[in-house]
Homo-oligomer: A and B are copies of this chain.
Amino acid sequence: MTKKPLILVTNDDSISAPGIKVLTDIANHFGEVWVVAPDSPMSGKGHAISLDVSLRVNEVKSTGPQKEFKVSGTPADCVKLAINKVLPRRPDLILSGINHGSNASINVIYSGTMSAAVEGALERIPSIGFSLCEFSWEASFEAAKPAIHKIISKVIENGLTTGTCLNVNIPENTKVPYKGIRVCRMAIGNWEEELDERIDPFGRPYYWLTGKFVNYDNGEDTDIAALDEGYITVVPITVDLTAHHAVSALNQWDFEE
């Protein structure tokens, strides 16, 4: 990595979210920062990209040394646009977040924050997604800052395995002081949906998607267990979705019979 790395900062809560401002401030300690982030909230957009609409990019006034651009698209769009159009060269590091809300366990599948980091991993650029396990835009990020500094400096120092990125989750502030940083695997759980049915003024039903997360995974080495204990969790995430452990069973199937 060069002496002054070029750092792309993005998120899914939009360029006006408090979390991205905290992450940008931290990033400014490590290199030249360009913020390219959605112009509106993109939570739950997963790894969506814009194929049926075109994209707008507009520079916005920056209050710090960083350059800032808002994009009319998803977090994955932002990374693609940043790398190919906005930044002066390929970034050395991609930071996404700090998300307002947990992206532990299977939330990574739905997370716009993490889709930006995964997009970075696909581009073979070291990438980290950060999330605080509190939804409130007023939540304090103070206690999280030292660990975020530490994790970024370690990634700059060591790089990341090609085709992987990091999913970092920070416990809620009631768990401060945090117990430390722990490398984990993601817990396997699921959202048990409760569809909230309403009736519109014209008598027709509509539904809000709500639900609660249920952890099916009792492993002590999971992110959910470590967050419960008050640790900041680091989970390496892969772009290879093959269920390698299931290949041999499938190879027993006789498709020719």
- Distance A198 CA – B57 CA, assembled complex (angstroms): 12
Give every chain B residue within 8 A of A106 (Cβ-Cβ).
122, 239
Instruction: For the complex, count residues of A whose C-beta is within 8 A of B.
Output: 79
On whether A109 and B52 interact (CB within 8 A), knowing A81-B207, A154-B255, A209-B77, the answer reads no
Q: Are B245 and A237 in contact (CB under 8 A)?
A: no
Judged by a CB distance under 8 angstroms, whether A250 is at the interface is: yes
- Residue in chain B with minimal CB distance to A251: B183
- Residue in chain B with minimal CB distance to A163: B188
Q: What copy number does this chain have within its complex?
A: 2
- Distance A204 CA – B72 CA, assembled complex (angstroms): 14
Q: Are A44 and B49 in contact (CB under 8 A)?
A: yes
Judged by a CB distance under 8 angstroms, whether A2 is at the interface is: no
Q: Are B84 and A193 in contact (CB under 8 A)?
A: yes
Judged by a CB distance under 8 angstroms, whether A48 is at the interface is: yes
- Closest Cβ–Cβ distance, residue A20 to chain B (whole Å): 18
- Distance A247 CA – B166 CA, assembled complex (angstroms): 11
Per DSSP, are chain A's interface residues mostly helix, strand or loop, or mixed? Answer: mixed
On whether A123 and B209 interact (CB within 8 A), knowing A85-B195, A195-B81, A243-B237, the answer reads no
Judged by a CB distance under 8 angstroms, whether A115 is at the interface is: yes
Interchain CB contact (< 8 A) of A50 among B108, B151, B209: B209
Judged by a CB distance under 8 angstroms, whether A256 is at the interface is: yes
Give every chain B residue within 8 A of A186 (Cβ-Cβ).
240-242
Instruction: Knowing that A80-B193, A185-B247 touch, tell me 17 more A-B residue pairs with CB under 8 angstroms.
Output: A46-B46, A46-B47, A46-B48, A54-B198, A54-B206, A76-B110, A85-B197, A109-B122, A109-B241, A161-B246, A185-B242, A185-B244, A186-B242, A236-B246, A236-B250, A237-B243, A238-B242
Q: Supply 28 A–B pairs (Cβ within 8 Å), ascending by A.
A: A43-B51, A44-B48, A44-B49, A44-B51, A44-B52, A46-B47, A46-B115, A47-B109, A54-B198, A54-B207, A55-B209, A76-B110, A80-B193, A81-B195, A81-B207, A83-B193, A122-B190, A122-B191, A161-B249, A163-B188, A180-B255, A180-B256, A183-B250, A236-B247, A236-B250, A237-B242, A238-B243, A238-B246
Instruction: Enumerate chain A interface residues (CB-CB to B < 8 A).
Output: 41, 43-52, 54-57, 76-77, 80-81, 83-85, 106, 108-110, 115, 118, 122-124, 147, 150-151, 154, 158, 160-161, 163-164, 180-181, 183, 185-186, 188, 190-191, 193-195, 197-198, 204-209, 234-247, 249-251, 253, 255-256
